[in-house]
Amino acid sequence: MSKGIVYLVGAGPGDPGLMTVKGRDCLRLAEVVVYDYLSNPVFLDDAPAAAERIYVGKSKGRHYAPQDEINALLVEKARAGKIVVRLKGGDPYVFGRGGEEAQYLHRHKIPFEVVPGITAAFAAAAYAGIPLTHRDYTTSLGLVTGHEDPAKKMSSLDWEKLATGVGTLVFYMGMANLRVIAEQLMAHGRAPETPVAIIRWATTPRQETVVATLADVVVKAREAKIKPPAVILVGEVVNLRDELRWFDNRPLFGKRVMVTRAAAQAREFAALLTALGAEAVCCPTIETVAPADWTDLDVAIAGLPRTDYLILTSANAVRFFFARLTELGQGVRALAGVKIVAVGPKTAGAIEERGIYADLMPSDYRAEGVVELLIEKGVKGSRVLYPKANLARDLIPSKLRAAGALVSDPVAYRTIVPEGDGVRIRAMLAAGELDVVTFASSSAIDNFMKMVGDEAPHLLDRVAVASIGPLTTKTALRQGISVAVEPEQATVDDMLAALIAYYQTRP
């Protein structure tokens, strides 16, 4: 059998956006992924579902695979003709033993490539607002392991040169030896007032930064209960943090927010939360699927030439309606002469992605607003098409019919309860691992109750519940759930703004 290949890939420090394009491309080709403990396991999602995933790292409750066993495993899998990705946090060649693995592969004539990653020193400093070099402070930088080979002792380091010959020092894996590091640097000439920053869980929403001096860093680290994984930065550049801090002072930094929207919408919402500093935990309580029978919608689409208004009240309605339009061999030209009504900006944006624009949008982004707008326009005798969800309220068709409109309201999609995640949601809530749970529809709440069970209201008492609007809030209250956050306008952007305002009033 022909030999495979091993890619030594650096996953970076934790933020998924900091992994290189080439690293992700390698993962997508992988047949075997051999990985260490990763600060963000989401990287593994880029590997094919069929790829073998082998954990060889060290973490709480899990044993560490000796390096010689890891080396042998890489050779074994490559000789079996597999594409192997050896995935490491940070950079493979910076205190990651990637050099040793590459040497072993070379000795056994296994083809390999190295894909660099962003190492912890660079990432932690940047995300803490600390430039590692600055012409007004220092132009020299040293990277040091604070946890050397067990056969050595930290005394083997040339402390005098480190203390006085390098402007900025970064110690990896040094928390266990923090006292020794501080004492040795001061004993060999570094001023006790030299600034120090300890950065834990760099580039993730859990990032913590403690600023101190060499003289008091041990005490401050103990008071802050800082534990590994962390890097230690020593140097005058630490003083720039107050001026250049940007990552951990964002409005929702450190908050863990559960997103219960359907998977297609959850990604966009999660990205918005991440940009605000939160950690988004996606646990969809809604799954959108096609209707059991397309007949009613197909008949309505056939009647588009005689239709005056098309009402779309969600991005899901847009997606399913236009997908069916295409499947029936018709394009947007079929909507010529039809006035399109979007319930709000997000729906209007989804329509624009199809190359056309909404003609009408109410100021009140709810079904009530749509009804009020069309009645003001005068709909008596008009033909209205309203493709809806199976559980949609009857408000739009009933009110418009009462106003004299001829309304067709076929089901364009169904919302159902997704399988799984109920146990996971209960566990996270019970363990106090969430700060906020968001609901963007009444269906999301009803399905949440089905997934979590009768204890859901009690578990939600421990978090801030954010509702997108009054109808969703009404459903929450009916289910015994208290709502802490509700925006004035029923949009995701307004819900995020209301969530920010909520935390601005709290320490």
Q: Which residues pair with 115 in a beta bridge?
A: 9
How many helices (H) and strands (E) the chain has is answered by 19, 21
Side-chain-facing half-sphere of 495: CA atoms under 13 Å: 27
Which token pair is 463? 């978090």
The conformation of residue 396, written as its DSSP 8-state character, comes to H
The conformation of residue 353, written as its DSSP 8-state character, comes to T
Rounded CA-CA distance 238/205 in Å is 21
Of 15, 36, 91, 409, the active-site residue reads 36
- CB-based contacts of 70, cutoff 8 Å, min separation 6: 34, 56, 101
375 closest CA partner among 389, 362, 358: 362
Instruction: Reply yes or no: is the peptide bond before residue 418 cis, omega within 30 of 0.
Output: no
Please report where in the chains the tokens 């944006």 appear, as a residue.
349
Q: How many CB atoms lie within 10 A of CB 431?
A: 9
88 noted as active-site residue: no
Rounded CA-CA distance 10/269 in Å is 28
175 noted as active-site residue: no
Of 22, 25, 58, 450, the active-site residue reads 58
Rounded CA-CA distance 50/83 in Å is 13
The conformation of residue 14, written as its DSSP 8-state character, comes to S
The 3-state DSSP class for residue 232 equals strand
Q: Which residues pair with 114 in a beta bridge?
A: 8
36 noted as active-site residue: yes
Q: How far is CA 443 from the centre of its chain?
A: 23
Rounded CA-CA distance 381/325 in Å is 25
Rounded CA-CA distance 151/170 in Å is 22
Of 19, 46, 91, 173, the active-site residue reads 173
Please report where in the chains the tokens 């033909």 appear, as a residue.
383
Q: What spatial distance separates the first Cα and last Cα of the chain, rounded to whole Å?
A: 63
Please report where in the chains the tokens 């203390």 appear, as a residue.
163
Is there a contact between 213 and 219 (Cβ–Cβ < 8 Å)?
A: no
Catalytic center residues: 36, 58, 173
